[in-house]
């Protein structure tokens, strides 16, 4: 099948053996820490990676596919795509992330972190305010793709009502998704006003950058919860911190952040603001999509995509094409 496939640092462990088994003719090049990615790409047909800069592809003569191994491919610079080269992403994380969202909402409304921490010190205090159950509350998703749809599927059996906004709303999508209404991104203020729980699950784009700020948090209100599983930069950092600190919203569950460690494994605060001091926040280090199912599903998708490329069939999940 002759294709040369480059697997960037960290991307090979599952894909290499699976690809070797499924498409034995492919020439698989695994890039290790310290190797030159530009050199490896010179004669490559496809690259599997999660970040890419223009300098990386300066010598890439025949690259036709940059396959990201996650859904948010915002660390792959489209300017790095040689002419005609496709950038594709991979999903398969919707079960894991939707589970995380329901977990986080319930952990907030049931005061899990406060009660667990207290009882570990022998404190039986049950003085926290009684919460309503999820029944008859409204969940609103900012974004209604793979994740938003699955979140709504899981939330409705709890008795929740659902609304959403998305780039391309249609009555059919609203009906199929079991929504009370589905609006455009411009209608997000209405979403935050109606939602008791607002879930951010849109891709980060120019249009969604800073899309959640003081106005939206004000509309969410003192009984409202915010969940972010998209990208930190969709939400404005300082207004969110202040709304939480001053209890102008009830709580937030954050898996994505404004600051990430420079090097893997280094210690680093995830924000310029001390979210870690707040007890109405659930915080995790960008793990909501991590699961066996996500890993297995993505490996299978990437391998099938490379086989499609080798066989000249149309690619799936094309986000952009280099020009």
The residue ranges that bind a second copy (CB under 8 A) are 95-96, 99-100, 102-104, 106-107, 109-113, 115-116, 118-126, 130-135, 153-154, 156-159, 260-261, 265-270, 276, 282-288, 290-293, 295
Nearer to a second copy, 88 or 282 (CB): 282
Nearer to a second copy, 42 or 278 (CB): 278
The DSSP string of 62-86 is: S--EEEESSS--TTB-GGGSPTT-E
Q: Are 212 and 240 in contact (CB under 8 A)?
A: yes
Q: Determine the Cα–Cα distance for residues 210 and 212; give it in Å rounded to an integer.
A: 5
Nearer to a second copy, 57 or 228 (CB): 228
Nearer to a second copy, 116 or 311 (CB): 116
Interhelix angle 146-155/94-109, rounded to 10 degrees, is 50
Nearest approach, Cβ of residue 95 and a second copy (Å): 5
Nearest approach, Cβ of residue 114 and a second copy (Å): 9
Q: Determine the Cα–Cα distance for residues 58 and 63; give it in Å rounded to an integer.
A: 11
Q: Are 290 and 95 in contact (CB under 8 A)?
A: no
Nearest approach, Cβ of residue 270 and a second copy (Å): 6
For 195-204, b/e burial (b = at least 16 CB within 10 A) is: bbbbbbbbbb
Nearest approach, Cβ of residue 69 and a second copy (Å): 14
Nearer to a second copy, 30 or 295 (CB): 295
Nearest approach, Cβ of residue 290 and a second copy (Å): 6
């Amino acid at each position: 099948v002759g294709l040369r496939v480059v697997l960037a640092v960290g991307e090979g462990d599952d894909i290499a053996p699976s690809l070797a088994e499924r498409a034995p003719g492919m020439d698989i090049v695994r890039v290790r820490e310290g190797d030159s990615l530009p050199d490896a790409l010179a004669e490559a047909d496809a690259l599997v990676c999660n970040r890419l800069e223009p300098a990386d592809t300066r010598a890439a003569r025949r690259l036709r596919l940059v396959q990201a191994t996650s859904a948010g491919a915002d660390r792959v610079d489209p300017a790095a795509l040689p002419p005609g080269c496709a950038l594709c992403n991979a999903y398969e994380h919707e079960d894991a992330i939707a589970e995380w969202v329901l977990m986080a909402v319930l952990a907030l409304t049931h005061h899990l972190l406060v009660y667990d921490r207290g009882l570990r010190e022998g404190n039986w205090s049950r003085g926290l305010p009684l919460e309503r159950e999820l029944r008859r509350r409204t969940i609103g998703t900012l974004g209604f793709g793979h994740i938003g749809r699955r979140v709504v599927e899981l939330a409705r059996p709890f008795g929740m009502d659902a609304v959403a906004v998305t780039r391309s709303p249609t009555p059919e999508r609203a009906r199929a998704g079991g929504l009370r209404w589905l609006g455009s991104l411009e209608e997000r203020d209405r979403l935050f006003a109606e939602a008791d729980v607002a879930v951010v699950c849109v891709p980060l784009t120019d249009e969604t950058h800073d899309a959640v700020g003081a106005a939206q948090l004000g509309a969410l209100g003192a009984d409202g919860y915010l969940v972010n599983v998209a990208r930190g930069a969709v939400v404005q950092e300082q207004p969110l911190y202040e709304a939480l600190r001053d209890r102008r919203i009830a709580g937030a569950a954050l898996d994505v952040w404004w600051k990430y460690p420079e090097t893997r494994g280094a210690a680093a605060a995830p924000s310029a603001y001390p979210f870690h001091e707040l007890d109405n926040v659930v915080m995790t280090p960008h793990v909501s999509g991590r699961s066996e199912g996500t890993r297995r599903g993505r490996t299978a998708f990437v391998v099938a995509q490379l086989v499609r490329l080798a066989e000249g069939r149309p690619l799936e999940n094309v986000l952009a094409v280099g020009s």
